[in-house]
Amino acid sequence: MTAHAHPHFSAWRVLLPIGLGTALSLMGDTAMYAVLPTHTAVAGVSLASVGILLSANRWIRLLLNGPAGLAYDRWPRRRLFVAAMFVGAISTALYAFTQGFWPLLVGRLLWGLAWSGIWVGGNTIILDVTTESDRGHWTGLYQLSFYLGSAVGFATSGLLTDRLGYHGALSVATGVTFLGALIAFFFLPETRGVKKDEGRRMKDDTAFVPTPSGFGGGGAARRDSRNSATLLYSVNRFVGAGVISATLGLLIQQRWGEVRLGGGSPIGVATLSGVMLGSSTLISMIAAPVAGHWSDRAGRWRVAAGGLALGILGLGLLALGNPAVILLGVPLTAIAGGSNQSLATASLGDHSMEEQRGLSLGWMHTFGDLTSAIAPPLVYGVLPLIGLPGIYLATAGLTAAMLLWAVRLAQVPGQS
């Protein structure tokens, strides 16, 4: 990062408050994924409603991501981001201090509103202070904060639930999310209009980009590039945030149950599930900035293709279901998830005009939320028919189709 690229302040001054705030905001949401499927009685809900509750926040974001992106394009970023952080904290308080389907549904819908503001806004803010030459690097670092928050949330929520109980653990999560909101309030600067993009200027809408896959020139080429980035993000969300997050705890329960270490006290399923999800998220946390950094040099789609190939292998291992291969399969899917989430965002930023980045991100997250919202009810709906192995194999097939598209794009001038 060169000193002249960001005359008002360094990217670190932006990344630290939004990264830390984003990480802490995820405590309540990750707790729901880690413990709700195995604590339905104390939460006052039925097992059949778990899929609805875990996906409700994503369904509401289908309506909210686009407006959130428009808002970030038109109004000060800081004000919107901080407000979203506080709404997220309120949603976690509802998980902690209420019981039953309807209060939890309201909490999940509020979290959907909050996350539209946090994630669309945070990525827009990062794009404000990066150029095409360093966007993969800084976008990957911001994705790191997402995965760090998820990893800590998954691991600690399971542990806290086994020690403090369901409501006690969520009370702790409430305090953590409010802390994240306060950090953003006190330390996040305004970035709207801080600089113009210094990468590829993209001013010539008539410039021709020759491709074997139908990409046109100028504006059409940028639109097709954004669509491809959105497709990658959507498949990635379906696999990771949808299928794996919603089923890994069930897979562990079916294949392992409780585990005893050295003949001591048993490790609860909630703790084991949380640790496994947390470990995979830590791996994604490392993969995101590494892949982003590589893509600044090797090309976005070349690096994405490698991650997708690892994801296919990991899903195949999960389908086998043996405890030993699960331990290998989960990290492989985590590498794919972390790398491609950051690469999709960086690619979208490369091919979006500065004044339309918020809206472009809003649409990308809308489609990503659609696929991840479809996944949990779809998985639980077909589970009695094909079982977990069938679910993982079908998901591997979808990932393979995305890999073929990524390989094709990697050969296209201006896309690789």
Q: What is the largest CA-CA distance in the chain?
A: 70
Please write the tens of the pLDDT for every residue from 330-349. Answer: 899 999 999 999 999 999 98
Percent of the chain surpassing pLDDT 70 = 85
pLDDT value at residue 267: 61
> H or E stretch including 76?
none
The better pLDDT of the pair 226, 317 is held by 317
pLDDT average, residue stretch 42-65: 89
Handedness of CA 129, 371, 292, 84 (dihedral sign): positive
**104-108, 113-117, 197-201, 290-294: least confidently modelled range:** 197-201
Contact 188, 18 (CB under 8 A): yes
Query: What's the pLDDT score for residue 204?
Result: 36
The answer to which of 198-207, 357-366, 367-376 has the lowest mean pLDDT is 198-207
- Higher pLDDT residue, 195 or 83? 83
| pLDDT score recorded for residue 349 | 85
Question: What is the predicted pLDDT for the residue at 2?
Answer: 37
Q: What is the mean pLDDT of residues 385-405?
A: 95
Per-residue pLDDT band at 149 (split at 50, 70, 90): confident
At 241 the pLDDT is 84
The separation between CA 384 and the C-alpha centre of its own chain, rounded to angstroms, equals 28
pLDDT of residue 123: 93
373: nearest Cα among 53, 36, 32: 53
Average pLDDT, the chain: 84
pLDDT classification of 414: cutoffs 50, 70, 90? low
Q: What is the pLDDT of residue 416?
A: 54
Residue 362 and residue 229 in contact, taking contact as beta carbons nearer than 8 Å: no
In the Cβ-directed half-sphere of 35, how many Cα atoms lie within 13 Å? 33
SS (H, E, C) 245-258: HHHHHHHHHHHCCC
- Tens-digit pLDDT profile for residues 181-221: 999 999 999 987 765 444 443 333 333 233 333 333 456 66
pLDDT of residue 86: 98
Q: What is the pLDDT averaged over residues 360-386?
A: 89
pLDDT at 105: 97
Percent pLDDT > 90 in the chain is 50
* pLDDT for residue 279: 79
> What is residue 188's predicted lDDT score, i.e. its pLDDT?
94
46 φ/ψ sector (left φ>0, alpha ψ -120 to 50, else beta): beta
Instruction: Based on DSSP, count helices (H) and strands (E) in the chain, helices before strands.
Output: 15, 2
Domains in the chain, CATH or no CATH each: 10-190+212-410 (1.20.1250.20)
Amino acid in the structure at residue 241: A
First to last CA, the chain: 22
**pLDDT at position 219, please?**
60
pTM of the shown model: 0.78
pLDDT category, 264, cuts 50, 70, 90? low
pLDDT band at 223 (very low <50, low <70, confident <90, very high): confident
**Per-residue confidence (pLDDT) for residue 269, from 0 to 100:** 65
**pLDDT above 50 for 400:** yes
Q: Is the pLDDT of residue 48 over 70?
A: yes
DSSP secondary structure letter of residue 333: H
Q: Can you read off the two tokens belonging to residue 220?
A: 């059409």
- CB 80 within 8 Å of CB 72: yes
Cβ neighbour number for residue 182 with a 10 Å cutoff:
15
pLDDT of residue 9: 59
Average pLDDT over residues 38-50: 90
Band the pLDDT of 114: cuts 50, 70, 90: very high
Res. 152: pLDDT tops 60: yes
| Average confidence (pLDDT) over 22-36 | 92
